[in-house]
Structure 1
């Protein structure tokens, strides 16, 4: 298939033309594809050719047909096609432009730089909003799977936005990716693309995320003189 790039045109599910604008930002090229701004004010995620599989497209069709209306969850709205009618990506809305990822909250120096007015109660409030979002996703039987601070953006007012949702686990389609130190020890030695995670697996990742949010600069499985965080997770070694 022909993979479109910036300046070229794609078609949405209804055959409407959308021009691919500039790359969203320098970090918007990931392991699966590139995120661009779109001419209709939304975002286009265009996959690398080798990442376009029947399984991925079947999953996107299911997500397209089952729109989850949670305001702060950036859900795929439409599969995007090239002019040969081959699927090449997905269309989604853009999170507010003043968002930054949670990595900037989990480091004390970056927290003070990007959220200078944040107090303890603001961190607690953010955690509550994050937990409520997970609860709503779980209500729809959706498992995030790849829980990590890069996939949640936060506004200066402390509103979280969940992104990279096309990797989420939905029905029979697993989440194929994940960060080792956010992955439950029960599935550490398993290929994530070959299993369906449950809410207990997800809870491990959520607890780790909340820990790092309430204690900026600290990770739950890191300690002086200890092994790597990933090894500590696998060994269930929580100091």
Structure 2
């Protein structure tokens, strides 16, 4: 929220009174001089599909603060003409994601040049069998490969309270499927914010807007490198 200073009218009056004695323009501050010029966005639009759960949907955040929104801004700041479609649905499990994948792909106005997939966290939080999570993700990655859409797979790790046996079955899912389908792997999507309470919302599950920026900074290179070269 922007606040307007109550001193603004007084400042205006003083400025008008000083018109006859205009001071020479002040030299640019050192910080302003150090700001690099903006990189122009060039080339054709690069459509990207962000497909996942609440971590992509922007749960608890304001408009424009979700991971796809901030990632698009970061890519465009690098000169990449990215346009990210946010197909994140809060609460989705891998089974729900698999069920809606075909519809989501068909509803895109143009074929995505890249898909960012973030699913499995809700499976883990509900202690669903890791074998089911693996099978659902496998079918999704297979479908995207059939469409010729490269993937950035955002990995998840099992919560410690689920035990070593569960972790031993769940944690290898992402690296093994990434290798199988040639996807770019982000080993643990929440790594930049884990154990940092100031970057997490009160539920201790979803990042704050500042946390999202930290995640974007940690993953934008992976996404940019995964885009097909033009």
**Do the structures match in fold with TM over 0.5?**
no
Larger Rg: 2
- The structure showing larger relative contact order (alpha-carbon pairs under 8 Å, at least 6 residues apart) is 2
Shorter-normalised TM-score: what interval?
under 0.3
TM-score (norm 1): 0.26
Relative to the length of structure 2, the TM-score reads 0.26
